[in-house]
């Protein structure tokens, strides 16, 4: 039987495989993170009819005579080039710019993907919505000054409404002190025993700052003396007023006093209400207002988040140039101020190019940012050696090398572009051109079979 028949059959069969690969590439032209494949052909073993001879002094050498026996698939390579980006505007969508893969936990199996169209489940886990596989990363500590520990990656969980870790003690229970009643005359001022109380309120009335003249329905409260000043037309017989406040000793880990860090600094568990007056001791004059600059002037203070707490720095002098009595340089005095008695909760978040998820937490009065977690990115010595297991997932093989997992943008890993996803790297013009070449190759091999069959027919007809 003619060798050409079997050579042509190998050509038909392997061109069909190439067509299968091209068809898969085109089918995934719009699959996020898909990497196209390429078929390479190689020759089969050749039949040697005559070996090569060496030259001699009298005669030159001759080459071997060989007849090829067809072709085979040399390799099917994954082309891991960058795909184009598509903007989605969705905060949990991410694209890798460069070499690397997202790391996911798919029902206990660690898998890798370039498709970053992620979402969240009802528990707040960052997931692949098609499979439920959980995106892996590294969680940050309670405050942003704690560095990430690059240990084993774990699930990332956060959701809108989460309470800021350092605000876990909010809300602080308010203590009702009873009611204010009088004899029918204006109370100006009314003295309460609630010294250094915080968040002092009276139902149905508006509190104004000390020094301001209360109007109808208003009052002021001096925590240093416990005095409540009402408007001149206030008559306590007209109504019974409920008073609420937070006792100082109940909302700080210290007792009624705080130990100062220095003569002008003290660290507390919670920050003053934005713009609130801070009082030192039981003296009406020791009142400090928030500074508008980084350095407090006379009678001013600044607040800075430090190590999960808040450091208040006072000016050395009061607004009138005198030293507060008592001040922080003497016996530690009580310090009081109004604060927002509810926790900061997650209202928004963003993801930067290094994969750090930064949350915006608000309590209705002010907003703070906190680093929640960092997306893990894996790199491989030979990423083309990864095995495609479906679902846009890859797993390691003997030739891919082990995964090196860490932060995006470090050690050659890809950076992250949020609000985008990576599209397929399939180029239709290339695929259609390859399709034409494959079609002609298949057609030519089928013609070889046809011609070989004709030759065999002529041979058979010799018997006639």
Q: Please give the full DSSP string across 328-388, using - where no structure is assigned.
A: TTSSPPPEE-----S--EEEEEEE-TT-EEEEEEE-SS-EEEEEEEEEEEEE-S-GGGPEE
Sorted by where each begins, the domain ranges of the chain are: 3-81+430-461, 85-166+345-422, 175-249
Number of helical H runs and strand E runs in the chain? 2, 33
Mean pLDDT (whole number) for 214-219: 88
Rounded to whole angstroms, the Cα distance separating 183 from 167 reads 43
Rounded to whole angstroms, the Cα distance separating 408 from 96 reads 9
Rounded to whole angstroms, the Cα distance separating 236 from 239 reads 6
Q: How confident is the model at residue 133 (pLDDT cuts 50, 70, 90)?
A: very high
pLDDT above 90 (res 403):
yes
Mean pLDDT (whole number) for 378-402: 94
Rounded to whole angstroms, the Cα distance separating 235 from 190 reads 12
Mean pLDDT (whole number) for 357-378: 91
* HSE-CB of 422 using CA atoms within 13 angstroms: 28
Q: Which residues of 121-131 are buried (b: 16+ CB within 10 A; e: fewer)?
A: eeebbbbbeeb
pLDDT of residue 49: 87
Highest-confidence segment of 90-104, 178-192, 239-253: 90-104
Rounded to whole angstroms, the Cα distance separating 80 from 24 reads 16
Mean pLDDT (whole number) for 160-168: 87
Highest-confidence segment of 173-177, 179-183, 336-340, 382-386: 382-386
311 vs 415, residue with greater confidence: 415
Q: Cis peptide leading into 326, omega within 30 of 0? A: yes
Mean pLDDT (whole number) for 176-201: 65
Q: Which residues of 274-307 are buried (b: 16+ CB within 10 A; e: fewer)?
A: eebbbbbbbbeebbbbbbeeeebeebbbbbeeee
pTM of the model as a whole: 0.77
Question: Using one digit for the tens of pLDDT, what is the confidence trace for 23-43?
Answer: 999 999 999 999 999 999 999
CB 288 within 8 Å of CB 277: yes
pLDDT of residue 335: 82
* CA-based end-to-end distance of the chain: 20
Q: How confident is the model at residue 383 (pLDDT cuts 50, 70, 90)?
A: very high
CB 198 within 8 Å of CB 337: yes
Question: Using one digit for the tens of pLDDT, what is the confidence trace for 240-291?
Answer: 678 888 876 544 433 335 566 677 888 887 788 888 888 887 666 678 889 9
Rounded to whole angstroms, the Cα distance separating 3 from 390 reads 40
Q: How confident is the model at residue 107 (pLDDT cuts 50, 70, 90)?
A: very high
Instruction: Identify the DSSP state of 41.
Output: E
> Average pLDDT over the chain, rounded to whole?
85
58-67, 150-159, 341-350, range with the lowest pLDDT:
150-159
pLDDT of residue 227: 81
Rounded to whole angstroms, the Cα distance separating 5 from 204 reads 100
Q: How confident is the model at residue 185 (pLDDT cuts 50, 70, 90)?
A: very low
Of 440, 458, 463, 453, residue with least CA distance to 12: 440
102-111, 143-152, 341-350, 444-453, range with the lowest pLDDT:
143-152
154-155 and 134-139 strand pairing? antiparallel
Q: Tokens 């894996």 map to which residue?
A: 378
Question: Using one digit for the tens of pLDDT, what is the confidence trace for 281-309?
Answer: 766 667 888 998 888 888 899 998 887 77
In terms of phi and psi (left: phi > 0; alpha: psi -120 to 50; beta: otherwise), the region of 448 is alpha
pLDDT of residue 281: 75
Percent of the chain clearing pLDDT 70 (strictly above)? 86
């Amino acid at each position: 039987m003619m060798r050409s028949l079997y050579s042509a059959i190998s050509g038909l069969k392997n061109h069909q495989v190439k067509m299968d690969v091209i068809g898969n590439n085109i089918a995934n032209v719009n699959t996020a993170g898909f990497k196209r494949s390429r078929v390479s052909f190689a020759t089969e073993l050749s039949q040697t009819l005559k070996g090569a001879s060496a030259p001699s002094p009298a005669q030159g050498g001759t080459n071997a005579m060989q007849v090829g026996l067809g072709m085979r698939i040399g390799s099917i390579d994954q082309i891991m080039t960058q795909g184009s980006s598509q903007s989605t505007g969705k905060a949990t969508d991410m694209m890798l710019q460069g070499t690397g893969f997202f790391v996911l936990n798919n029902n206990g199996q660690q898998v890798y993907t370039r498709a970053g169209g992620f979402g969240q489940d009802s528990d707040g886990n960052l997931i692949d919505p098609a499979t439920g596989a959980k995106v892996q990363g590294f969680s940050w500590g309670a405050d942003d000054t704690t560095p990430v520990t690059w240990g084993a990656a774990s699930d990332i969980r956060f959701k809108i409404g989460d309470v800021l870790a350092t605000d876990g003690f909010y809300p602080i229970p308010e203590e009702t002190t009873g009611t204010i009643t009088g004899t029918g005359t204006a109370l100006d001022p009314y003295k309460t025993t609630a010294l250094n109380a915080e968040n002092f309120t009276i139902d149905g009335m508006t509190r104004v700052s000390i020094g301001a003249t209360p109007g109808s329905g208003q009052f002021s409260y001096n925590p240093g003396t416990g005095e409540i000043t009402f408007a001149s037309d206030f008559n306590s017989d007209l109504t019974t007023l409920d008073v609420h406040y937070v006792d100082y000793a109940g909302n700080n880990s210290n007792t009624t006093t705080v130990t100062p860090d220095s003569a002008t600094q003290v660290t507390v568990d919670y920050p003053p209400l934005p713009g609130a007056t801070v009082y030192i001791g039981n003296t009406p004059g020791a009142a400090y207002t928030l500074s508008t600059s980084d350095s407090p002037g006379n009678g001013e203070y600044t607040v800075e988040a430090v190590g999960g707490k808040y450091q208040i720095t006072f000016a050395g002098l009061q607004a009138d140039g005198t030293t507060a009595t008592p001040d922080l340089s003497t016996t530690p005095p009580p310090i009081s101020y109004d604060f927002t008695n509810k926790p900061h909760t997650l209202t928004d978040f963003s993801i930067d190019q290094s994969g750090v998820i930064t949350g915006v937490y608000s309590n209705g009065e002010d907003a703070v940012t906190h680093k929640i977690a960092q997306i893990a990115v894996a790199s491989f010595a030979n990423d083309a050696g990864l095995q495609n297991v479906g679902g846009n997932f890859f797993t390691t093989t003997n030739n891919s090398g082990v995964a090196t997992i860490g932060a995006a943008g470090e050690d050659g890993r890809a950076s992250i572009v949020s609000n985008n996803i990576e599209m397929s790297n399939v180029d239709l013009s290339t695929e259609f051109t390859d399709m034409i070449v494959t079609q002609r190759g298949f057609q030519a091999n089928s013609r070889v079979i046809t011609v070989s069959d004709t030759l065999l027919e002529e041979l058979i007809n010799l018997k006639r």
